[in-house]
Structure 1
Amino acid sequence: MSKPVYGKFASSSRNKQSRSALFWILITGIILFLAWTPFQTALFNGFQLDFEKPILWTAILSCLLLFLWVAQYYKRIQLTEQRDWLAVGVLLLPLTYIISMISAASQTQAANMVLINCIYAIIFIIGLYVLRDALGNRMIQGAIMAIAYLIVGFGLLHWFGQGESAGAIAKWFSNTVLNGIYTHAVMTDSNGLRLTSVFQYANTYAAFLMAFLFAAVFFVTTSRKWYSQAFHSFMLVPIIVSLLLTLSRGGLVMLPVVFVLLLLFLKPAQQLLWILYCGMAGVISLLISKSVTELGLQLNETFSGSGALKGWGILIGASIIMGLLGWVIQRFVAPKLESVLSTWSEKRGASLWLPIGSVVIGGVLIFLFIGTGLKNILPQNISIRLENINFNQHSVLERFTFYKDAMKVLADYPIIGAGGGAWASLYEQYQNNPYTSRQAHNFFLQYLIEVGVLGFLVFMAFIIFIFYKYIRGYVQQDTDGKNSHFLYLIIVLSILLHSILDFNLSYVFMGILVFLGLAGMAAAMDSRPVKKWTLPESAARGVFSAVVGIGAIIVLITSIRYVQAADAAMDARRLAQTSNSFEEIKAPLDKDLSIRSSHPDSVLLLSSLYYTGYRQTQEEGFYNLAVDLLNRALEDEPYNKFMLLRLIEGYELKQQPELAYAVLINNAYKFKWDIEWYEKIIHQGYDLGSKALGTGDIATKDQYFKQATDAFAEVQAGIRHLETLPEGQLQGRPFEYTPDMILNAGKMYYMMNQPQEAADALKLGIQEDLSQTIPQEIARWYLASLQKLGTDDEALMERLLQVDPNAEQSVKQLAELQF
């Protein structure tokens, strides 16, 4: 078995007095890449032009790093061990995304996800080799921790109202600094202010903080230098305080789960130290949390230099105390603890007792903070969030709904999935109620519907194999061997487990951390020779280098062209706000669409430009260009609601309501909880049916009326379904009857000689106040329907007569109509 600490080839290079310049360039490049990426807020959230360029630049930089890696490690590439073949296996992940494009719900989003998974594959391959080198491993780990601590400090600067200071630094390498402030580093939602730092989403920041809380504890207990022990101890308080300020229930729920799982890897002495450090840092953080929270709330409303200084003074003072305690414990307590527990550590099952005890203690603490007055020591916003941790809380119920809806998508796309970004494109078709969420809030389910069972099995086999081989190797290693790559297990386990509850891996930076972590685990795994698939060394080197090299060249060229396209799209958007020149605005749009023919932003802007030209000149060419452009783009983006609405707009502009109505009817199933879509169907169905009735075309009239009333029946069924939602679950977007919808549906039932259905529909719109026109019309048609049925509503007639003296006559006339 090869030694995981250094790997097969690293020990020889370790003995050299100097390393090649390429090695140092590669290490420096990786560190700069890791430092640059988090500030790009590269969130893949369906298709969003503003977030696209950072992802594309990340792909370009990762390709350049791969070329450096090939130049540095070319002679060391060989496919003789299981670890080597993982570099081949990771290529299957982007391949499954390429395959899923066959049935992709959105070609644009699917293409972006292919590029993102190529980034992950590249990072994994580079890390697999670089992290087998002892020096490279130490430098990358140091860089990861330094970047994490910078992100924590960056977030706290914003919490204490010093966003302009942080923005002045971030603006040089981030496109999310607007008006001198990093956008949404402190977000606002129904819970108040929540700390998000670079992520702009509190729950993902909580997952990040959870990972690096345990990473900091790990370095406190394993560092040999006193200043390192003190510094990592110092950082425990800012991390925990930041975690509390995210107000993330998911983070607080998953933190003890990850903690207990990590304890299982440690000896009893280390377990006690981890519990001690987390406990002390937690107590100190809770003691200052009220002051820090209240100051932050005030400073984000009205900044005060003295207030910010006070906040930093409290936080730094508490952190210094923790830093000193950490140094003292490591200097005097830890060695004795290790000595005292050495005999116990050798006993079978010794490492299980403290994790089990931690579960019990954690349960007691949760009860105390949720069910007793102890919660009063917490800031009010944190206390309220803790009280709401239960399975009947709306966010929990909503997540369960997302998961059920995701399985509906999978049922229709079971084998190869619906392509990258499938959830954002398809969720409105499958949703149980009208929520708005472009993320499924579960990475694994989202991955499953994107690549299907085939791709998901490949991914899970890849992950499970690495975990299995890492744990197998970990058990057999000495203390230094176990510690050498343990940071990567902490990162991967923390982020992946939290991703069961949220969309952390939709952030490219988080994905990079996970795949770099997997590479670190694979670098230290129990690797065995693979004789069955062994190729001659030169052949393996040549074939593998050629495959990844050609793949990287394709990704690089594609990414560069996409950056050019994105720049053109952004230029067109800016010009549309400042220029009146048709040709000037059209030129960059043509450039974008020549590269990506169905790019939604550019398709929508160019079609709008064509419509404007048609309105101004009445030239058919403009109209035809717009409609052709939209129809072609919809072949790749069939679920893009904005394109469909733009196409409907064009048909209406050309006075072709039948074509507009066909688009509404044919795509209604995609947006079954969009009440405005139903309103359009019912309104236009009534208009077209009435027009057909006026020409004596009864069959066409009945066809339009039937389609429109079927849509009304869908609305009725939807409203009844919403009444069955569990108590505590929010409905989401409005979904309710409108007076126009009721009136038109009632009229259509009446004109199809269905007075009972007409009366039932119209009754839904009867109001006490009949002073407005539409309520009066509903009342007249309702009373006429009753007369058809041989009954009446005298009270309603009396009220109607008060506002319309001729109501009785008009109702009678309606009742006498024959259709």
Structure 2
Amino acid sequence: MSKPVYGKNAVQSRNVEKISSYIWALVIGFIVFLVWTPFQVGLFNGQQIDFEKPIYMSSLLSSLLLLLWIGLYFTKFRLEGQRDALAVTSLLLPATYALSLIGAASHYMAMNLLFVQSMYVAIFIIALYLLQQKQLNVVIQNAILAIAYFIVGFGLLNWLGSWKFAGGLVGWFSNTVRGDKYLDAVMTDSNGLRLTSIFQYANTYAAFLMAFLFVAVYALVRSKKWYGMLTHSFMLVPIIVSLLLTLSRGGLVMLPVVFILLLLFLKPAQQILWIIHLAISGLAALLVTNPLTTLGTELNTAYTSSAALKAWAYLIGASAVVAVLGWLIQRYIAPWLYGKLGSSESRKFTGMWIPLGSVVAVAIVAFLLIGTGLKSVLPDNIETRLENINFKQHSVLERFTFYKDAMKVVKDYPILGSGGGGWASLYEEYQNNPYISRQVHNFFLQYLIEVGIVGFIVFMGFIGYIFYKYIRAYLKRDKDEFNNGFFFYIIALSILVHSLLDFNMSYAFMGILVFIGLAGMGAVMDNKPFRQSWNKTGIRMGYMAVLTIGTVFLLFLSISYIGSSNAALKGKNLVSVSTSYEEIKTPLVKALDARPYHPEAALYLSTLDMQVFKQTQDEQYLAEASNVLTRALKDEPYNKNLLAQLASYYDLKGQPDMALAVYSDNAYKFNWDITWYESLINRAQTLAAAANEQKDEAKKQEYLAAGLDAYKHVLDGIEHLKTLPPEQLQGRPFSVTPTMALNAGRLQLLAGDDEAAAAALKMGFNDQYSDVINSASLWDTNWYSLLITRTYDLAQQAYTQKNDADKTLHLEIGQIAYRQIYTDLHAKNIPPAITLNAGKIQVMSAQEQPPALQTAISTLKSGLSEDYSDPTNREIARWYLAALAKSGSDQDQVVYGKLIAADPAEADRVNEIVSTSFKNLQ
């Protein structure tokens, strides 16, 4: 291959440069990678075994491609100009992510993001050199356009009910197809159905559509062939319709912003052509969006061929009309415009008037659509979204909150950052209110959090330099030799601008598109040559050696992680189907050998060991669970599931004080997780009551302080939430729950504050318990009996109404109340009515928690007396015998005999309980 040519003759030289078969092999591999990636690697901030392997596979494939590039360019690479320096400095991007591992909040997620960043750089380096050759540049552009158009069509297939066909197209290589259906290609939220295509998130799909809407217009205006004109103009309507169907407010807001920014780079004739094509296709799309919205909603509920054919007729008909009009405009109007405006293009500021006019036009259209009745021409769901575009809208207020909270993280992790996935790990510690958002909704802030000021400066310097050099050269152009670069400029600019409002770059495919866009700009930017001293063999070979060693290391690391991921997934799948300890354990141990910090694998293995310990009481299993959890938490200190598992380990170990310490010491990490504080207060109350019984005043005060401090934190949080703007959503529920009220009230009682104890009950219970909590005598045996009876009655009512959430809540209240009275009475002299209802509650709880059935058997047995003439005692015996029968245990013949002797009809009553109250027990 000949030496690359730079300078003013570069384009001409690249036109005639012979391309070897090896280069074509690299190009084909590059394009295959682009086809494979969008259907494999989605959002990569989670901690899920099911979705991690595509990251490592992508890293492996990109490493192989980069090794092929190294093989082709090892002896040809020259550090001759600023373009070559980009390839060198790009290595700093993954280097900053590697540095952030030092203080990473989650080593697991930080490593995943290191793989992703390395993949981006590999793609950037390869694209930077491939795109310098015009023939390859055109091939890659066409490939990207074809992929984009396929994604648009794929989304519309799902919207119009052909999800099975769409799933079949990609199911043979995509891991996101379940039951022949691509997951969430059409999502549902409070706004109704929203189109997401491959992204499973409507706002990111809107960013993608915005970028390729402008790319399609650019390709149409640039095209010289009739079939190119027809193809690109045909796709304008599907793209705009898809954009509207995302219901993305951010997309609608950023669309005119990016449009005006792009107009500034076009000549007046091109500006007019862009406006004409977008106006025609936009009008056609608006005309068919209403019926397509209605038909799409129907087809996603129940598919009918007539509705589908009608929908496709609307879409294809409108697209065909726009395609013909687009061809006519380019064939006849475009040459006339170029002829009329050609002389004015050389004048200064001639390209500014239309963009300035567009600002006014956009403002007028926005006013008409938002402030007048014109928006009624749109579908109801789109009209509603437009009405909600304002600075007091909840999603805007929430984003401002995210950004403020993000800066709190930056303040604590300023230099090297908190590692990849830092926000997802840390946001619960810093959040202002209990929202759920594992993304900052601003790519640049999230990047700053992850790599700190050092990494952020490197990244902004890198992309800023590329944009500066490209724009500077573009504005100086005297010919259209930068057309290819503008294609990539549109992609990079559109996605990055939209990423100011959302987390598009948390999707690997979007990140790949941006880095290809940067490479495309870099390939044609003004390339100032370096001094000859920069091009010494040692420097050149040193760079290629570093790149080779790093790529080979990443390649083998990817292979290791793929093996670990396969093993972890195998272990996860075996948990639900196998009863063999060794069979399940083997793959989990293998997974943890490579990555001892893997959260899910550590959780599964520790759970397995703890289950076996319960069965065998062999301490070695408990010791292994401890080792696994301790090692994982060393690198994953913010993982809530692992911390809760550690507390369970201490429970099994007989160290409830250590379990409380886990909750208390880590409470600051989960400031707005009401379930965490609920568990903390429950544990503190149990230990405080035990210490009180043992007359251990020091321990009692210690546990009282832990529980009451946590309760105060909850009360303070509730008061803080009252200060939120009325338009801003609170997020997750955060209030004094009934079970928390019971435990907090008991803590107040132990602290000697009866008034605060009563106030706690009133904070936590609703009107269904009003007579109970307003009773003249609180906390005595009769009060507990009334409370437990009420919880059982309400749980039965919720069960009949199939309200599982309410049923679970009432059962929890009943069980905590029983534990408290059980402690008060020292397990003696508990009234039979309390025992009976507590046993029934435990039976109902066994529907979700099977071990509760054995607890119910013990509770009911403890309440039996010898007086079988007593109706309550006979009912206890009935439930006790029914529970034994359901559990498969041997029948208690003594109790059965006494019950039948008292009343022979009791045998049928026992069977009736088994067939009714126990029918849902597994």
Please classify the TM superposition score into its range, dividing by the shorter chain length: over 0.9
Match of 1:124 in 2: 124
Deviations 1:315-340, CA, capped at 9 Å, x for gaps: 11111111111111111111111121
Q: Which residue of 2 aligns with 1:607?
A: 606
Size of the aligned set, in residue pairs, is 782
| Match in the other structure for 1:189 | 189
CA positional deviation for 1:727: 1.2
Question: Which residue of 2 is the match for residue 563 of structure 1?
Answer: 562
Q: Counterpart of 1:488?
A: 488
The alpha-carbon deviation at position 11 of structure 1 amounts to 5.5
Look up the match of 2:636: 637
C-alpha deviation, 1:215, in angstroms: 0.2
Please give the root-mean-square deviation of Cα atoms over the aligned residues, in Å.
2.2
Matches within 5 A, 1:529-548: 529-531=529-531, 534-536=534-536, 538-548=537-547
Looking at structure 2, the residues matched to 58 and 778 of structure 1 have their Cα atoms a distance apart, in angstroms, of 67
Corresponding residue of 1:308: 308
Checking the alignment, whether the CA contact within 8 Å between 1:418 and 1:450 is kept in structure 2 is yes
State how 1:99-498 maps to structure 2 within 5 Å. 99-498=99-498
The 10-residue stretch of structure 1 (722-731 or 755-764) with the greater mean CA deviation from structure 2: 755-764
Find the residue that maps to 2:187 and give its secondary structure. strand
The residue number in structure 2 matching 1:798 is: none
Unmatched tracts of structure 2, length 5 or more: 784-820, 825-922
- Structure 1: how far apart are the matches of 2:378 and 2:151? 24
Deviation at 1:263, TM superposition (A): 0.3
Structure-2 separation of matches of 1:756 and 1:156 = 62
- Give 2:70's aligned amino acid: V
What is residue 717 of structure 2 aligned with on the other side?
718
For 1:788, the equivalent position in structure 2 comes to: none
Which is worse superposed, 335-344 or 226-235? Answer: 335-344
Aligned residues of 1:60 and 1:560 also touching (Cα < 8 A): yes
Tell me by how many angstroms 1:81 deviates: 0.9
Aligned-pair CA distance for 1:496: 0.3
Match of 2:861 in 1: none
2:489 counterpart SS class: helix
- The Cα shift of 1:40 comes to 1.1
Alignment CA distance shift 1:12-1:376 (3 Å):
closer
Distance in 1, Cα, partners of 2:66 & 2:775: 72
Letter of the 2:572 partner, please give it.
R
Greater Cα offset, 404-413 or 743-752: 743-752
Structure 1 window deviating more from structure 2 (45-54 vs 120-129): it is 45-54
- Corresponding residue number in structure 2 for 1:616: 615
Q: Partner amino acid for 2:139? A: M
Preserved contact between residue 204 and residue 503 of structure 1 (Cα < 8 Å): yes
Counterpart residue number, 1:701: 700
The residue type paired with residue 639 of structure 2 is N
CA contact (8 A) 2:254 2:498 kept: yes
Provide closer, same or farther for how the CA distance between residues 237 and 501 of structure 1 changes in structure 2, counting only shifts above 3 A: same
Distance (whole Å) between structure 1 residues aligned to residue 373 and residue 513 of structure 2: 39
How far, CA to CA, are the matches of 2:557 and 2:756 in structure 1? 58
Q: CA deviation at 1:4?
A: 9.6
- In the aligned structure 2, how far is the partner of 1:323 from the partner of 1:4? 39
Q: Output the CA distance in 2 between the equivalents of 1:535 and 1:301.
A: 64
Change (3 A) 1:533 1:422: farther
Show CA shifts across 1:640-673 (max 9, x none): 0000111111211232211100101100000010
Aligned partners of 2:632, 2:171: CA distance in 1, in Å? 35
TM-score (norm 1): 0.92
- How far apart, in 2, do the equivalents of 1:144 and 1:400 lie? 35
Shift of 1:740: 3.1
Q: Matched residue of 2:348: which SS?
A: coil
The answer on whether the counterparts of 1:434 and 1:732 sit within 8 Å (CA) in structure 2 is: yes
Q: CA contact under 8 A between 2:14 and 2:132: conserved in structure 1?
A: no
Higher mean displacement: 541-550 or 281-290: 541-550
Displacement of 1:210 after TM fit? 0.2
Shift of 1:45: 1.9
CA distance in 1, matches of 2:144, 2:581: 49
Cα 1:27–1:658 shift into 2, 3 Å: same
Aligned to 1:25: 25
Note if contact 1:673-1:735 (Cα within 8 Å) is conserved in structure 2: yes
Post-superposition offset of 1:79:
1.2
Query: 1:450, 1:234 → 2: CA distance?
Result: 42
| In 1, Cα distance between equivalents of 2:777 and 2:347 | 82
1:779 is displaced (CA, Å) by: 4.4
Shift of 1:598: 1.1
Paired letter, 2:371: G
> 2:686 aligns to what?
687
Identical pairs, percent: 54
Contact in 1 for aligned 2:186/2:197 (Cα 8 Å): yes
Contact 1:426 1:639 in 2 (8 A): yes
Letter in 1 for 2:487: L
Q: Distance in 2 between matches of 1:420 and 1:562?
A: 17
Deviates more, 1:558-567 or 1:470-479: 470-479
Q: Check the 8 A contact 1:745/1:761 in 2, yes or no.
A: yes
Structure 1's 308 and 770: CA in aligned 2 closer, same or farther, altered over 3 A?
closer
The secondary structure found in structure 2 opposite 1:76 is: coil
Between 1:300-309 and 1:241-250, the stretch displaced more is 300-309
Pair 768,656 (structure 1): closer, same or farther in 2 beyond 3 Å: same
CA contact (8 A) 1:159 1:296 kept: yes
Which residue identity is paired with 1:693? N
Partner of 1:806: none
Amino acid of the residue matched to residue 128 of structure 1? L
Helix, strand or coil at the partner of 2:726? coil
Q: Which moved further from structure 2: 32-41 or 495-504?
A: 32-41
Structure 2 CA distance for partners of 1:646 and 1:128, relative to 1, 3 Å: same
CA distance in 2, matches of 1:307, 1:768: 49
Instruction: Tell me what 2:880 maps to.
Output: none
Tell me which amino acid in the other structure corresponds to 1:15: V
Distance 1:486 1:59 in 2: 28
Contact 2:7/2:527, CA 8 A, preserved across alignment: no
Q: What CA distance in whole angstroms lies between the structure 2 residues aligned with 1:770 and 1:61?
A: 61
Name the structure 1 match of 2:16. Answer: 15
Tell me which residue corresponds to 2:42: 42
2-structure distance, mates of 1:573, 1:223: 52
Secondary structure of 1:197 counterpart: coil
- 1:241–1:390 Cα change, 3 Å: same
Distance 2:346 2:652 in 1: 81
Q: 1:745 to 1:324 in 2, by over 3 A?
A: same
Identify the residue that residue 586 of structure 2 maps to in structure 1. Answer: 587
Q: 2:291, 2:577 → 1: CA distance?
A: 48
Larger mean Cα displacement after TM superposition, 641-650 or 74-83:
74-83
The separation in 2 between residues aligned to 1:330 and 1:524, in whole angstroms, is: 27
Give 1:769 deviation, angstroms.
Answer: 5.5
Distance 1:651 1:570 in 2: 27
Aligned residue number for residue 744 of structure 1: 743
* Residue 646 (structure 1) aligns with: 645
Task: For residue 761 of structure 1, report the CA deviation from its aligned partner.
Answer: 4.0
Structure 1: gaps (5+ residues): 785-809, 814-819
Q: Which residue of 2 aligns with 1:56?
A: 56
| Residue 757 of structure 1: how far off its partner (Å) | 4.7
Corresponding residue for residue 525 of structure 2: 525
Q: Which has the higher contact order (CA 8 A, sep 6+)?
A: 1
Q: Which amino acid aligns with 1:591?
A: K
